[in-house]
Structure 1
Amino acid sequence: MAAQIWTVRSMSVVSFVVVGRQLEPAAFGLVALAGGIIGVLAILSDSGMATYLIRQQQLDETTRSTAFWTSLGLACTLAVLLAACAPLIAAAFDEPELTVVLWCLTLNLVLAGGSSVPNALMRRELRFKALAARGTAAAMTGAVLAIALAVAGAGVWALVAQSIGQAVVSAVMLWCAVDWRPTLQIERRRAREMLSFGSKLLTIDLLMQARDRGEEFVLAGVASTTTLGFWTVATRLVKLIQDTGSQVISSVTTPAFAKLQSDLPRLFRAYETAMSATGVVIFPAMLFLAATSPDVVPLVLGEQWTRTALVAQITAVTAAIGVFSYFDRTIFVAVGKLRPEMIMVALIITLHLVVVVTLAPLGLTAMALGLLGRALFTFPVRQVVLHRVVGVPYRCLLKPFRVFAAAALMALLVWGGGQVLPWEDRWARFGAYAGIAALTYPLLLLLLARPVALDFGGELKRLLAGRLRRGARASGPSQAQEPSATVRPTDSSKV
């Protein structure tokens, strides 16, 4: 599954780089604005029912079918309302082209509503390999469409086609992989029960959307879609790296934590392990980007995006700090204590939006610095709430902090090396940065966070050993036919 997820992210990076070199910032801003609206409505169509299905110990057909038809009905209703309101939304943002973009992307909203329940059922059954395969095919389809249309000069429609192509392929493969099909067994009482449970999750999800999408809406309203495009590209670069390192772990934490809800000591150990394992990858990646953005951003995306380098630096540091709160909500969901999370998220999001509204008129750098300050302020608040409400020991932060320290020292050495490098060529500088990081981070990790480094190394060895064994079994029949043949190491490494 890890290989498939990394394949998806690799395809996303390739398409992002190629398309970023072809399109203007306004195109990214326009699709980001439309995608933000679709994202909020998709949350409404699900209304927390997917999490309800994952969390239940036993599921019957009435529950599954009721959840499906409720989610699909909400999605279709919201899609019709969005189509009707699209011209008004476009006029409000003074973006005439937004109307047609929204009309096209309503298909994504309907597909999301129809895919929510089968996706939840597969996650509940821990069928992550099939989900990853679906994501791989969808990402490849979207990437091919985006690159082909961007090179052909389609402009913003390259990004629209990418989004729709991914949604269609993802939905089709999902329904091909799941054995379940909905029936007409619908029960209003069951729907009310699910919506009641999901209402708290829905509130939290909408608040999180207000945080993430609020930036986009404010920038589009206060400035322009061009400014939003610069912000989108800077944050998208950070998010691509972040998701590449975290999605393997985050995709399994909700069902895994839910199974440990009655055993708090094991749940807390799983929480600590998940945070440490994520940090081993995310901390160095984010802080490396923070140290090298002035060279990396123009090198990867082109000189027209140089303006986003400083924003990417600041946002990368913010993302690294965010790892310490990455699994907080999953803990609250696992133990069924959503009200404290809802109140805390509401306060954090309010502060977040105040920062955005106040600093957005001053420029992207000022807003990025303000959001970094918000993250530094709210991180200890979240940990105190986790400790008092759920009982998570503060010591669960010690191992992740040591990993963070190793990554921070690595990034400092990379930045310091960049100050004395004699070369002006960005490729040469990037090679030097990568070399410094590759040499120093493993040593610093062993020095400062040895238990985490050994555990992580052990998991990698087990993963590689398993792949080698599967490769050996796969090559068994051919070996039986040709006893004298020698198995080449490269054959098993491709599995």
Structure 2
Amino acid sequence: MLKQRAVKGVVWSAIQRFSSQGVQFVLGLILARLLAPSDYGLIGMLAIFIAISETFIDSGFSTALVQKKDCDELDYSTSFYFSGAVGFLFYALLFLFAPFIADFYDEPQLVQLTRVVGLTLIVNSLAIVQRAKFTINIDFKSQTKAAVSAITISGGVAIYLAYAGFGVWALVVQNILRRTLDLIILWSISKWMPRHGFSFLRFKGLFSFGSKLLISGLLDTVFKNIFTIVIGKVFSAQSLGFFTRAKQFSEFPSSNITTIIQRVTFPVLSVVQNDDIRLREGYRKIIRLAALVVFPLMMGLAALAKPLVITILTAKWTETVWMLQIMCFAMMWYPIHAINLNVINVKGRSDLFLRVEVIKKVITTIMLVITIPIGIKAMLIGQVATSLLGLSINTYYTQRIINYGFWQQMRDIGPVLLLSLMMGTLVYLTIGMTSSMLWQLTIGTFSGLLFYGGIAWGFNVGNVRLIKDVIFKN
């Protein structure tokens, strides 16, 4: 029964993630052809302020609701009122501090942009409980309907506005409209309404778990966006636009696949959180499956970065190519990071989660101080080094909790890593046979698929039978 729920959850989570993100990605490519890199740079400058606010709005409560075994209506109502109140509070703060944000970046138009984009905080705060309830029930089908509908409609409106010459405001309208439509659809599907008042006792219990995730989430949010702050402040809006697009390309396969895996495995494996043997074996399969899919995608993306960017976005985005290639080597490790951290949350050790995040952020700070004076390229190479160091820290605690540390994980995913590097090298060499960007993209994609797929499937590299079982036995 648990396996069936997990497989069904993976399928619908994958459909939701790739249908919604896929539609958004395609619409984003169309918008990128119509808008200037500096338009994306302006929105990117606000990313950290929105992200920090949303971290406070959630405060770890969504994870706390999923992790809590005896969650009831009073818990949901308490979380709803808390998130809504914080959403209004942080919008008010953004509204007041908008002139200071504009002065910091020396971009006067950020005053209006901040005050309008900030409205998404209020909208998003009113949907946190609904999403948590769907996740607890492993119901990603409902979230798929809401996400795809909202993204498609808002994206269509944004393309029209961009074509009509509204510039950066096309992106602003897209963001607000998408969040609003998603909220309306989620409320209509879930039928859930707060039926109780606010309970300080329940708040205390939820916040006891969520507060540590809040602090670690703040650290993670700040450092995820630290490059955005530095590039926007030290360099230019145009450079930030190139970086933002490279980040979106590199995160698309890695983050989406990781999110699919995490959303399903967290509620499912929370059920066996007290059985270390089953938990360890479950995570071994998850890590091998993540590497089997993500590693070749990231290596292929790095090899095909130039023909992909120029063919899809046009030559005005060429500066994005080298940024994307470096970032692929950092993002390929992201699912392994996230899965190790998921172990800590499943075991209810949010204190260790916080400790891990603090240590990694200290390392990131040191690396940034060293690389910022050298330039953007040095900063991105430093990000790759930081990712590898961070992985060793994550796995240290996984070793302590379920006896599944760094070297055991490397033995499990090592063959996949080696095969992915070989495939990436083959693709990079193969595309040099023609000067046509479209042909490079076509030849490189098919040669990579045939080489990696054939060897992985034929020799069961990375235990590819895990995928075979899902396809043919479920």
TM category (shorter chain) comes to over 0.9
Distance 1:60 1:453, change over 3 A: closer
Aligned to 1:229: 241
Which deviates more, 119-128 or 353-362? 353-362
**Structure with bigger gyration radius:** 1
Q: Distance in 2 between matches of 1:247 and 1:48?
A: 16
Q: Distance in 2 between matches of 1:145 and 1:353?
A: 40
Aligned to 1:69: 81
Pick aligned residue for 1:372 from 381, 384, 389: 384
User: Which amino acid in structure 2 is aligned with residue 415 of structure 1?
Assistant: Y
Q: Distance in 1 between matches of 2:27 and 2:229?
A: 25
Residue 417 of structure 1 pairs with residue 435 of structure 2: no
Pairwise CA distance, 1:13: 1.9
Aligned to 1:188: 200
Larger RCO: 1 or 2 (CA < 8 Å, sep 6+): 2
Aligned to 2:457: 446
Pairwise CA distance, 1:448: 5.5
In 1, are the aligned partners of 2:78 and 2:199 still within 8 Å (CA)? yes
Which deviates more, 370-379 or 48-57? 370-379
Aligned to 2:408: 395
Aligned to 1:261: 273
Pick aligned residue for 1:107 from 115, 119, 123: 119
User: Which amino acid in structure 2 is aligned with residue 363 of structure 1?
Assistant: G
Pairwise CA distance, 1:361: 4.0
User: Which amino acid in structure 2 is aligned with residue 410 of structure 1?
Assistant: M
- Give the RMSD, CA atoms, in angstroms: 1.8
Which deviates more, 321-330 or 363-372? 321-330
User: Which amino acid in structure 2 is aligned with residue 96 of structure 1?
Assistant: P
Distance 1:321 1:447, change over 3 A: farther
Equivalent position SS for 1:452: coil
Q: Distance in 2 between matches of 1:451 and 1:355?
A: 33
Aligned to 1:208: 220
Q: Distance in 2 between matches of 1:245 and 1:202?
A: 23
Aligned to 2:350: 338
Which deviates more, 175-184 or 328-337? 175-184
Residue 198 of structure 1 pairs with residue 210 of structure 2: yes
In 2, are the aligned partners of 1:254 and 1:334 still within 8 Å (CA)? yes
In 1, are the aligned partners of 2:146 and 2:186 still within 8 Å (CA)? yes
Pairwise CA distance, 1:288: 0.4
Q: Distance in 1 between matches of 2:397 and 2:259?
A: 25
Deviations 1:386-437 (A, max 9, x none): 2024432553443322222222211111112234x0x211111111101211
User: Which amino acid in structure 1 is aligned with residue 341 of structure 2?
Assistant: R
Aligned to 2:468: 457
Residue 120 of structure 1 pairs with residue 132 of structure 2: yes
Distance 1:403 1:220, change over 3 A: same
Pairwise CA distance, 1:372: 0.8
Distance 1:151 1:457, change over 3 A: farther
In 1, are the aligned partners of 2:416 and 2:462 still within 8 Å (CA)? no
User: Which amino acid in structure 2 is aligned with residue 93 of structure 1?
Assistant: Y
Pairwise CA distance, 1:29: 1.1
Aligned to 1:52: 64
Aligned to 1:466: none
Deviations 1:351-407 (A, max 9, x none): 223323442343322211111111122222321222024432553443322222222
Residue 138 of structure 1 pairs with residue 153 of structure 2: no
Pairwise CA distance, 1:306: 0.8
Aligned to 1:30: 42
Deviations 1:228-274 (A, max 9, x none): 11111111111123244333323212212211211111111221222
Structure 2 regions of 5+ residues with no counterpart?
Answer: 1-11
Q: Distance in 2 between matches of 1:436 and 1:38?
A: 41
Q: Distance in 1 between matches of 2:294 and 2:372?
A: 27
User: Which amino acid in structure 2 is aligned with residue 413 of structure 1?
Assistant: L
User: Which amino acid in structure 2 is aligned with residue 303 of structure 1?
Assistant: A
Residue 250 of structure 1 pairs with residue 262 of structure 2: yes
Q: Distance in 2 between matches of 1:112 and 1:4?
A: 18
Q: Distance in 1 between matches of 2:374 and 2:150?
A: 39
Aligned to 2:91: 79
Distance 1:7 1:150, change over 3 A: same
User: Which amino acid in structure 1 is aligned with residue 446 of structure 2?
Assistant: G
Distance 1:447 1:383, change over 3 A: farther
User: Which amino acid in structure 2 is aligned with residue 125 of structure 1?
Assistant: N
In 1, are the aligned partners of 2:231 and 2:376 still within 8 Å (CA)? no
Equivalent position SS for 1:182: coil
Pick aligned residue for 2:33 from 21, 28, 32: 21
Aligned to 2:181: 169
In 2, are the aligned partners of 1:214 and 1:353 still within 8 Å (CA)? no
Runs ≥4 residues deviating over 6 A? none
Pairwise CA distance, 1:108: 0.9
Aligned to 1:433: 444
Equivalenced residues, count: 461
Aligned to 1:480: none
Aligned to 2:421: 408
User: Which amino acid in structure 2 is aligned with residue 407 of structure 1?
Assistant: S
In 1, are the aligned partners of 2:258 and 2:338 still within 8 Å (CA)? no
* Identity fraction in percent: 24
Equivalent position SS for 2:290: helix
In 1, are the aligned partners of 2:300 and 2:427 still within 8 Å (CA)? yes
Aligned to 1:481: none
In 1, are the aligned partners of 2:16 and 2:143 still within 8 Å (CA)? no
Aligned to 2:171: 159
TM-score (norm 2): 0.93
In 1, are the aligned partners of 2:158 and 2:173 still within 8 Å (CA)? yes
TM-score (norm 1): 0.89
Structure 1 regions of 5+ residues with no counterpart?
Answer: 464-495
In 2, are the aligned partners of 1:258 and 1:335 still within 8 Å (CA)? yes
Equivalent position SS for 1:327: helix
Pairwise CA distance, 1:16: 1.7
User: Which amino acid in structure 1 is aligned with residue 87 of structure 2?
Assistant: A
Deviations 1:320-352 (A, max 9, x none): 122321212211011011222211211211222
In 2, are the aligned partners of 1:150 and 1:158 still within 8 Å (CA)? yes
Q: Distance in 1 between matches of 2:55 and 2:45?
A: 16
Q: Distance in 2 between matches of 1:189 and 1:247?
A: 31
User: Which amino acid in structure 2 is aligned with residue 167 of structure 1?
Assistant: R
Pairwise CA distance, 1:103: 0.9
